[in-house]
Amino acid sequence: MDYSQNQQGPRIRIPPRLIIGAVIALIAVGSYFANSSKNAITGRTQHISISPEQEVALGLQSAPQMAQQFGGLSNDRDATALVKRIGQKLVSKLPSEATPYPFEYHLLADPKTVNAFALPGGQIFITEALFSRLETEGQLAGVLGHETGHVLARHSAAQMAKSQLTQGLAQAVGVASSDSAQGAQNAARIAQMVGGFVNLKYGRDDELEADRLGLRFMLASGYDPRSMIRVMEILKEASGGSGQPEFMSTHPDPGNRVQVIEGWIKEAYPSGLPEGLQK
């Protein structure tokens, strides 16, 4: 962002690392108000030291860098439009408690890495490599719904609190804004930490919770939750190559996960799913 248009005063240009520093400072302030809160979507009590607004700021801050790691935004307009349309369809049916998050869905150009991930605050990504393997709109809704589940269950923020990442970031920010060589080094470290979000490994429970939420969101938008079973098979097939899909990172056995999905569907709809769901 360039603020040099102001004719009145001196040319003011805010270095990116100061902007990162400001975001980190927000988090440091937030950590003083560390508290346990009940998650309205999952019903679980969580220990999270940052607010949803701070999650949004962090997600927006790191989104461009994350996109670059996977080839930048896709040039395929039709596919991009489809990802955004299905994403917004899911969002339109989310419970009202989900409103603090301005969800955005992006298609990334990476043709090799089969992946989908979410940054805290609602920035959600899927690579062309995964997108191109999907066969139906319902399967896409399944992937995006799962990632939407991670955001609403605030899994990244909870992980940050757990790993005391917040504390490390807050300590680093002091020197980041100075112009010394060490300051620059720390600014780089902060950028790396923010970038580390995408590599965060969620626990098994987080993955299963994201699955359950994803199935809920799919159904609310009229998609057949059984499409998610095929997604698991597709991911299993893809995991033969290099690079583990995010979905697979904590679940070496997708067979278990298929069972959990089938169990959830049976429990939620003991007398069968409603008619006319979209595959």
List residues binding Zn ion (CB under 5 A): 210
Please, which residue, 210 or 218, has the CB nearer to Zn ion? 210
C-beta of 202: minimal distance to Zn ion in Å? 6
Please, which residue, 17 or 106, has the CB nearer to Zn ion? 106
Please, which residue, 172 or 210, has the CB nearer to Zn ion? 210
Which pair of structure tokens corresponds to residue 200?
């965060």
Which pair of structure tokens corresponds to residue 135?
């066969």
Report which of 40, 143, 44, 191 is spatially closest to residue 101, judged by C-alpha positions.
40
C-beta of 29: minimal distance to Zn ion in Å? 29
Please, which residue, 48 or 210, has the CB nearer to Zn ion? 210
Please, which residue, 90 or 210, has the CB nearer to Zn ion? 210
Is residue 249 within 8 Å of 238, Cβ to Cβ?
no
Largest Cα span, the chain: 71
Could you write out the DSSP letters of every residue in 203-256? Answer: PHHHHHHHHHHHHHHHHHTTB-TTHHHHHHHHHHHHTTSSS--GGGTT-S-HHH
Which pair of structure tokens corresponds to residue 224?
């057949």
C-beta of 247: minimal distance to Zn ion in Å? 6
Which pair of structure tokens corresponds to residue 271?
């007398």
Could you write out the DSSP letters of every residue in 80-96? Answer: HHHHHHHHHHHHHTS-G
Helix (H, G, I), strand (E, B) or coil at 133: coil
39's CB contacts (< 8 A; 6+ apart) are 45, 46, 152, 153, 154
C-beta of 106: minimal distance to Zn ion in Å? 16
Please, which residue, 148 or 186, has the CB nearer to Zn ion? 148
C-beta of 174: minimal distance to Zn ion in Å? 34
C-beta of 170: minimal distance to Zn ion in Å? 27
Which pair of structure tokens corresponds to residue 187?
């600014």
Is residue 187 within 8 Å of 17, Cβ to Cβ?
yes
CA dihedral 72, 78, 82, 83 (to 10 degrees): 0
Please, which residue, 167 or 249, has the CB nearer to Zn ion? 249
C-beta of 88: minimal distance to Zn ion in Å? 20
